[in-house]
Amino acid sequence: MPAVVRVALPVPLARLFDYLPPAGGVAVGSRVLVPFGRKKLVGVVVASGVEAAVAGARLKAVLSVLDDAPLLDAELMQTLAWAADYWLAAPGEAYANALPLALREPRPLPQTTEPCYALTVAGRSARDAGSRRGSSRALLDLLVAAPLGAAELDLALPGWRPAAKRLLDAGLIEQRTPEASPPTPSAAPALNAEQEAAVSAVAGALDRFQPFLLDGVTGSGKTEVYLALIAQALAAGKQALMLVPEIGLAPQTLRRLRERLGVPVEVIHSNLAEGERARAWLRARNGEARVVLGTRSAVFTPLPQAGLIVVDEEHDGAYKQQEGFRYHARDLALVRGRALGVPVLLGSATPSLETLANVEAGRYRALHLRARPGAARPPQVQIVDMRAQRLDHGLSPALLAAVAEAAGRGEQALVFRNRRGYAPVLLCHACGWHAECPRCEHPMTLHAQRRTLACHHCDRHAAVPPACPASGRAQHNPQGQGTERLEEALAARFPGVPVLRIDRETTRRRDAFEQLLHGLQDDAPTILVGTQMLAKGHDLPNLTLVAIVGVDEGLHSVDFRANERLAQLVVQVAGRAGRARKPGRVLLQTHHPDHPLLRGLLAQGYAAAARELLVERREALLPPYSHQALLRVEAHQRADVDAFLAEAHAALPDDAALRIAGPMPAPMPLRAGRHRGQLLVEADTRGPLHAALRPWQHALAALPSARKVRSYRGRIRFPRPEVGQWADASLYKASPWTMPRRFPTS
């Protein structure tokens, strides 16, 4: 057998590929161009000088080596191999995912420096004279404060490039090389005792791996703790990586990092132009970038001089990638911290149950911030019992009175409802007919303004019928309330107060959300109606009342994580109230005022409710106290689903450690015209489950019945069942610490 190089290629196959080495050899971690079928692909060398797995005659040779030195260092190579194995991915897709798109092309690496843009004298006068409009004007307004690079402009003004071209041509702006000397850092506030204790605990571990949970409500000063620690890492000559769940939260954090640290901060996120993303990634790899702030995918940034990793809002579901190569950025951050030998700081006001279980087991150290330096008293939360109440479009008298009071004081009120549209059901009272999606057998949501019925499961749209198709009666009755209906009801009820709806429909345009939020900074009374888009850390200083409606659905979900998410959502939404000097009030409207979760949450807060939920998980043998893998498939014919799942069941090893539930219909047995079924495999410990999954995955692909089904996750479908069918609950969420401690070597 000849010596070959083993290459990870971006194809959805759970294997690596062997090629004859190029003259002069090639190092592990370098990119190579290789023939693959009739195509040429860029791959990453994962092993060199190894023995071929197939006979020499069939081997093709590497076409060219793209990197003189390895692009991916040993730590990233090891972490990616681990991740591909842990999340049952096609290895090549894991490597491809780690590289910015521009680096997956067979081209030389881009230059890492890029000029920034600044106003000229003429530009300043043009701006003062207000002679430009639209995006040109917005760009001038941005640059008047300070010159900005392309990465920052991507963040602040998506689509800025045509405007920049126009202004450059007109001589109103110019390109400069970036400033050599960054701004002088601004002074940090004196930390309080709890912050001080948190900082010194983490600082004491700056040279080794240790996970920490920084548990503190919004406004308790977590960001100040991150800043102090990042400053310490910088002072020690190290790099820091900070992850945030959403790009919407990045600008304010970026500003604080820049002002405080006085060093350039790289941002890496999905709105970034590909060239920028590659440049930022390379600057981190060169060590030029000292601080990297980014969303989920930034967890793959090379950190040759790593000193600290921070994951803010660690409980947030946005850290979970659900398409293609699926991973959890928080868990991957921990794996990287271990490989790099640096502390990992997870921050949250509502930590995930997995993280709390790791604290309980002594794997993570918890640090608490209980005081709120910047804000007033915590908001006062109160349950509104809806039973036997006269409701106005689902709103109780107590809720309406509270809204009237807040508006009367000139303050803002938020009515939170996690459901878009006018009404979830359109019913005929005469005969009981309701509008249903024929492809999903679920009620269709009425969107009154758009005069359409929409299926929120498969996106099917239909016209609102003029009369009931069953009884012929012309009167329909919308049942239940969506944000659109609440907006209408509140506007009718409070004619003098502006009512603003914030959901996916009113914020379809890219910057619409930011603009809506911007208008809320001043002191005018406003009623907001919104979905969970409003739950995250946006600061609304004049918001003093939060009314949560429609939590009851969350209490009855089949998803075992529904209660946890509901508790987090309630606490996060409630945290929007009374952030500045004005005290806040929170109303929770429910038909189940005695539900233990709601009671516990209100009486004792999130920590106690989470402890209670963990006890339930332990008793029910649910993650994180057990481990699950879920196989889901769908097909046009129910029989094809059943046949495949029966064979899949039979293909599982006969291991007493595995508990198998199913085959059974999926929670939505029909969606978009396809029948869906699932098989759940559980084990008390991860070892036996994980050991069974890879062989099972290969066996499933070989089943003849596999050709008739597709795997899916949500709306995402996969052409073949051999890849990505693992809609595995625990593989995403549970901590990696239950995995074998050793990294796999290939």
Alpha helices, DSSP H only, in 409-555?
Answer: 483-493, 512-518, 552-555
Nearer to Zn ion, 31 or 674 (CB): 674
Q: Which residue is nearest to ligand ADP (CB)?
A: 374
Nearer to ligand ADP, 253 or 481 (CB): 253
Computed from CA positions of residues 433, 439, 440, 443, in that sequence, does the dihedral angle turn out positive or negative? negative
Q: Does 535 bind Zn ion (CB under 5 A)?
A: no
**At 456, is the secondary structure helix, strand, or coil?**
coil
Question: Which tokens is 397 given?
Answer: 């008298």
Name beta bridge partners: 380.
585
Gap between the Cα atoms of 216 and 314, Å rounded: 12
Least separation in angstroms between residue 672's CB and Zn ion is 6
Gap between the Cα atoms of 258 and 269, Å rounded: 17
421 binds, among Zn ion, ligand ADP, none (CB under 5 to 8 A by kind): none
Q: Does 675 bind Zn ion (CB under 5 A)?
A: no
**At 19, is the secondary structure helix, strand, or coil?**
strand
* Near Zn ion by CB under 5 A: residue from 457, 561, 576, 710: 457
Kindly list the residues in this chain that would bind ligand ADP in the complex (CB under 6 A).
Answer: 189-192, 195, 216, 218-224, 373-374
223 binds, among Zn ion, ligand ADP, none (CB under 5 to 8 A by kind): ligand ADP
221 binds, among Zn ion, ligand ADP, none (CB under 5 to 8 A by kind): ligand ADP
Nearer to ligand ADP, 6 or 222 (CB): 222
3-state secondary structure string across 253-284: HHHHHHHHHCCCEEEECCCCCHHHHHHHHHHH
Asked if 288 and 280 touch (Cβ cutoff 8 Å), the reply is: no
Nearer to ligand ADP, 239 or 253 (CB): 253
Gap between the Cα atoms of 542 and 526, Å rounded: 9
Least separation in angstroms between residue 597's CB and ligand ADP is 25
Beta strands in 122-232, from DSSP E residues, in sequence order: 173-176, 211-216
Gap between the Cα atoms of 85 and 743, Å rounded: 10
Nearer to ligand ADP, 195 or 210 (CB): 195
Nearer to ligand ADP, 192 or 322 (CB): 192
Least separation in angstroms between residue 671's CB and Zn ion is 7
Q: Does 413 bind Zn ion (CB under 5 A)?
A: no
End-to-end CA distance of the chain: 19
Q: Interface with Zn ion by CB under 5 A: which range of 175-183, 432-440, 471-479, 626-634?
A: 432-440
Question: Which tokens is 492 given?
Answer: 């009718």
Q: Does 617 bind Zn ion (CB under 5 A)?
A: no
Least separation in angstroms between residue 536's CB and ligand ADP is 11
457 binds, among ligand ADP, Zn ion, none (CB under 5 to 8 A by kind): Zn ion
Least separation in angstroms between residue 215's CB and ligand ADP is 10
192 binds, among ligand ADP, Zn ion, none (CB under 5 to 8 A by kind): ligand ADP
Residues 436-455 that bind Zn ion (CB under 5 A): 437, 439-440, 455
Least separation in angstroms between residue 340's CB and ligand ADP is 24
Residues 160-199 that bind Zn ion (CB under 5 A): none
Question: Which tokens is 90 given?
Answer: 């096609």
Nearer to ligand ADP, 259 or 323 (CB): 259
Strands 291-294 and 116-119: unpaired
Continuous segment of H or E residues that includes residue 162: helix 161-169
Asked if 14 and 2 touch (Cβ cutoff 8 Å), the reply is: no
**Residue 175 identity (one-letter amino acid):** Q
224 binds, among ligand ADP, Zn ion, none (CB under 5 to 8 A by kind): ligand ADP
Least separation in angstroms between residue 535's CB and Zn ion is 26
Question: Which tokens is 100 given?
Answer: 């910015």
Q: Does 670 bind Zn ion (CB under 5 A)?
A: no
* Near Zn ion by CB under 5 A: residue from 460, 493, 638, 659: 460
Q: Interface with Zn ion by CB under 5 A: which range of 324-332, 430-438, 609-617, 737-745?
A: 430-438
Residues that contact Zn ion, how many (by CB under 5 A): 7
Q: Does 614 bind Zn ion (CB under 5 A)?
A: no
DSSP state of 743: P
**At 196, is the secondary structure helix, strand, or coil?**
helix
Gap between the Cα atoms of 625 and 430, Å rounded: 50
Nearer to ligand ADP, 233 or 527 (CB): 233
Nearer to ligand ADP, 310 or 403 (CB): 310
Helical pair 329-340 and 74-86, crossing angle rounded to 10 deg: 140
**Residue 146 identity (one-letter amino acid):** A
Nearer to ligand ADP, 252 or 452 (CB): 252
Rounded (5°) CA angle 163-168-172: 95
Per the rule left: phi > 0, alpha: psi between -120 and 50, beta: everything else, 703 is beta
Q: Does 119 bind Zn ion (CB under 5 A)?
A: no
Asked if 307 and 240 touch (Cβ cutoff 8 Å), the reply is: yes
Nearer to ligand ADP, 244 or 490 (CB): 244
* Near Zn ion by CB under 5 A: residue from 50, 63, 138, 458: 458
439 binds, among Zn ion, ligand ADP, none (CB under 5 to 8 A by kind): Zn ion
Least separation in angstroms between residue 442's CB and Zn ion is 6
Question: Which tokens is 603 given?
Answer: 């009486």
Strands 64-65 and 306-312: unpaired
CB count, 10 Å around CB of 614? 19
Compute, in degrees rounded to 10, the torsion defined by CA atoms 308, 314, 317, 322: 30
Nearer to ligand ADP, 370 or 591 (CB): 370
Least separation in angstroms between residue 460's CB and Zn ion is 5
Nearer to Zn ion, 161 or 439 (CB): 439
Least separation in angstroms between residue 465's CB and Zn ion is 17
Give the footprint of Zn ion on this chain (CB under 5 A): 437, 439-440, 455, 457-458, 460
